[in-house]
Amino acid sequence: MKKLIIVDSGCANLNSIYKASRAAGLNPFISDDSREIYDAGAIIFPGVGSFDHAIEVIKQKELIEPLCKAIKDDKPFLGICLGMQLLFSGSEESLVSNIKIKGLELIAGKAVRFPNNLPVPHVGWNQVEPVYNHPLFAGLTGSEYFYFTHSYYVSPASDYNVLAKTEYGLTFTSAVVKDSLIGVQFHPEKSGPAGLRLLANFGKIIADQ
């Protein structure tokens, strides 16, 4: 069985995702060791907090290269919340001395802030509607609610990368895909049975690849 690593980015609630993954039938290991991430067969990359801080932390931990290599090697990869946003070219949140911090640039596009007329952060339960059939959403109807907490959402440059959408004053991308790379804006580990089913589906993607 492929070794599944939950990446300790220093910017995530690892205990919640670990417990939920175990409850969904996965057998993950938590690590911030670049060598283990290089050797992993599959990766979950969770993240919370600010874009700039997270990029600096994973730079310090020397995780950027192994994360990028895992994706380029087509290993099953699930980015969660900020962990998904970091995969993009950048974020409107990033303004340090007027110099924008780049993301991992693995998906073209950027994270953008919700309009000023909407309460932020967007917190709570909301529906996630897949735009086409994908193994990550197998057995889910599209009417399930998942748990969100975020002020920024991703805007992919190509519709090809849009896997699911959600309504919050506007229609935003709540899941993305690029080959074996998947990202979700919501927190499956906080989303009850629907979240556990999604994590179990990711486990099946790992097993089938």
Mean pLDDT on 11-39: 93
Of 68, 73, 41, the closest CA to residue 55 belongs to 68
Q: Report pTM.
A: 0.95
Delimit the domains of the chain by residue range.
4-208
pLDDT at position 129: 96
Distance CA 7, CA 82 (A): 13
- Yes or no: say if 185 and 177 are a contact pair by the CB < 8 Å rule: no
Distance CA 206, CA 209 (A): 6
Distance CA 170, CA 168 (A): 5
Mean pLDDT on 31-57: 92
Which segments of 32-189 are extended strands (E)?
42-47, 77-81, 88-91, 107-113, 122-127, 129-130, 145-150, 152-156, 162-167, 171-178, 181-184
Q: Over the stretch 157-174, which tens digit does the pLDDT of each residue have?
A: 999 999 999 999 999 999
Tokens found for residue 53: 């801080």
Q: Which residues are catalytic?
A: 81, 187, 189
Q: What percent of the chain has pLDDT over 70?
A: 97
- For residue 155, give the DSSP letter: E
Which of residues 49 and 148 earns the better pLDDT score? 148
Q: Which numeric CATH code is attached to 4-208?
A: 3.40.50.880
Tokens found for residue 196: 């556990």
Report CA 138 to chain centroid distance, whole Å.
18
Q: Over the stretch 29-38, which tens digit does the pLDDT of each residue have?
A: 999 999 999 9
DSSP alpha helix (H) spans, 24-170: 34-39, 51-60, 64-72, 82-85
